[in-house]
């Protein structure tokens, strides 16, 4: 999830009741560093608040370095692969924000049990990614979720260093996972984290990779913050509003005003003129916009006026809006009093977290000063390098068509303005993505990069279209071929 308190408040209401469960005896652990797998064991038969048995797992806190007095720790939750399929693969999932917990992914997107919107029930997930591989959800960077420590980084190099330090400690604790094929996946602002994390892993020496057991293979990012807000929000906003005028409930005068804003800033039909396959050359982005140009905010405000329950993450949601059992939206000073993780008695202790710590789905200021000073991966050679150097040769970028917080045409423009493996952009138009015999979106794959646009999905693809996300993850892991995505 890309966290903005202002946009989070649009169309979301706090859930007034959460799953209740009969008190189940648990064995609280003292909050001390644990060094062996048994100290992190989570018996899947008796997880507080979960009314059915799930597979056993491992969760808790590990430091982000081997320093003797290291006080910074990430909270993690690892579910082993459910069968032989994918037992030699390890998928890591990260949520974005910056400052949002990856437990959102575990509990509402791709984990074995879920807390659906608009419900007080816990349900099994037939499309859990644990059916495809080992999956590790990590709350990061420092300051997020149930982790420990005070944020002390200013950029993505700090994110990558923290992540690497944690991963080294994780593999020391769980040596059976060393050398498994590692794929790093995530969504939203994790689309900025992950290229930097991946680039850092790729540059490690062969000797260091062997010693640590980190066998990085590739990355997959959903609705990602891998380009600038200019490209992902402002430039595509007007044509997005025109394409989805009826869904958004926008009147003709709003569309006229947006068109005029685009004309005055040289952005009229910018997407249709520049989103070409193959591209005609480097896409020239505007060097300067009018100080009062903000088509994106104008669009969001107009959509909110038209639909008080407008949801920036999934534009088809209507009133009465969305209730979230994880208590979203959060506020640092006034956390939601009603969310599963905080309210289920014994839950935090059961997963070896600090029971006294209040969990928030998202927090502010995980970067010192509140600003990430690193450039977007698509604005540097970083994205190209990760695509070219990833051993799997299956870098995946996907984007939900109904996402308004980051717009799919923005991702497409960023890709078409990137050069990798000797050519700029995708040379051929996208073709139909097929899931269970039906069109699920559009897709194209060339020279180590696959780009997919997902129909009927907003910002959280595994939540909105779990079947599609599941099939694409099979592709990322090399369990099916690209051709299998076309039929």
The reported pLDDT for the residue numbered 11 is: 43
**Contact predicate 185/476, CB 8 Å:** yes
User: What is the set of domains in the chain, with CATH numbers?
Assistant: 37-225+371-485 (3.40.50.1820), 232-325 (no CATH)
Residue-wise pLDDT for 289-298, tens only, equals 888 899 999 9
Q: Who has greater pLDDT, 119 or 436? A: 436
- Mean pLDDT over residues 394-410, rounded? 99
Q: Is the pLDDT of residue 49 over 70?
A: yes
Closest CA to 221 of 242, 194, 248: 194
| Burial annotation 449-484 (CB, 10 A radius, 16+ → b, else e) | bbbbbbbebbbbbbbbbbebbbbbbbbbbbeeeeee
Active-site annotation holds for 89 = no
Closest CA to 64 of 172, 214, 145: 172
Confidence of residue 331 (pLDDT cuts 50, 70, 90): very low
The reported pLDDT for the residue numbered 120 is: 86
The reported pLDDT for the residue numbered 6 is: 47
Active-site annotation holds for 188 = yes
Active-site annotation holds for 287 = no
Catalytic entry in 352, 399, 442, 459 = 459
Q: Is the pLDDT of residue 50 over 50?
A: yes
Residue-wise pLDDT for 456-481, tens only, equals 999 999 999 999 999 999 999 999 99
Q: Is the pLDDT of residue 334 over 90?
A: no
**Contact predicate 28/351, CB 8 Å:** no
The reported pLDDT for the residue numbered 281 is: 97
What value does the mean pLDDT of the chain take?
92
Catalytic entry in 403, 445, 455, 457 = 403
Report helix, strand or coil for 245.
Answer: helix
- Mean pLDDT over residues 195-221, rounded? 98
């Amino acid at each position: 999830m890309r966290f903005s308190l202002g946009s989070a408040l649009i169309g979301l209401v706090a859930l007034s009741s959460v799953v209740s469960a009969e008190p189940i005896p648990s064995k609280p652990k003292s909050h001390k560093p644990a060094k062996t797998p048994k100290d992190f064991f989570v018996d899947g038969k008796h997880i507080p608040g979960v009314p059915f048995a799930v597979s056993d797992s491992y969760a808790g806190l590990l430091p982000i370095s081997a320093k003797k007095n290291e006080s910074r720790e990430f909270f993690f939750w690892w579910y082993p692969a459910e069968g032989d399929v994918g037992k030699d693969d390890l998928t890591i999932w990260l949520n974005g924000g910056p400052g949002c917990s990856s437990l959102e992914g575990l509990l509402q997107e791709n984990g074995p049990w879920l807390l659906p919107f608009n419900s007080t029930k816990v349900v099994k997930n037939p499309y859990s990614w644990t059916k495809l591989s080992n999956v590790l959800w990590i709350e990061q960077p420092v300051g997020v979720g149930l982790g420990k420590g005070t944020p002390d980084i200013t950029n993505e190099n700090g994110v990558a260093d923290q992540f690497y330090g944690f991963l080294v400690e994780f593999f020391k604790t769980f040596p059976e996972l060393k050398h498994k094929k590692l794929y790093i996946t995530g969504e939203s602002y994790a689309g900025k984290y992950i290229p930097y994390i991946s680039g850092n892993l790729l540059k490690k020496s062969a000797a260091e990779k062997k010693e640590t057991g980190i066998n990085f293979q590739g990355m997959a990012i959903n609705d990602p913050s891998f380009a600038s807000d200019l490209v992902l929000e402002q430039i595509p906003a007007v044509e997005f509003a025109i394409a989805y005028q009826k869904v958004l409930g926008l009147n003709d005068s709003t569309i006229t005003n947006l068109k005029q804003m685009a004309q005055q800033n040289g952005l009229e039909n910018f997407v249709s003129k520049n989103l070409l396959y193959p591209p005609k050359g480097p896409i020239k982005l505007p060097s300067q916009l009018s100080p009062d140009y903000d088509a994106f905010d104008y669009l969001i405000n107009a959509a909110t006026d038209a639909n008080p329950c407008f949801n920036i993450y999934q534009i088809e949601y209507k009133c009465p809006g969305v209730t979230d059992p994880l208590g979203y939206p959060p506020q640092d000073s006034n956390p939601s009093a009603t969310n599963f993780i905080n309210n289920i008695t014994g839950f935090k202790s059961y997963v070896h977290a600090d029971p006294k710590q209040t969990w928030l789905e998202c927090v502010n200021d995980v970067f010192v000063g509140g600003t990430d000073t690193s450039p977007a991966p698509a604005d540097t050679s970083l994205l190209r390098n990760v695509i070219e150097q990833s051993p799997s040769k299956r870098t995946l970028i996907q984007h939900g068509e109904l996402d308004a917080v980051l717009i799919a045409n923005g991702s497409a423009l960023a890709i078409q303005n990137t050069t990798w493996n000797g050519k700029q952009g995708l040379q051929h138009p996208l073709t139909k993505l097929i899931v269970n015999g039906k069109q699920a979106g559009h897709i194209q794959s060339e020279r180590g990069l696959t780009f997919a646009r997902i129909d009927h999905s907003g910002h959280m693809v595994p939540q909105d279209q779990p079947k599609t996300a599941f099939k694409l993850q099979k592709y990322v892991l090399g369990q099916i071929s690209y051709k299998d995505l076309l039929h």
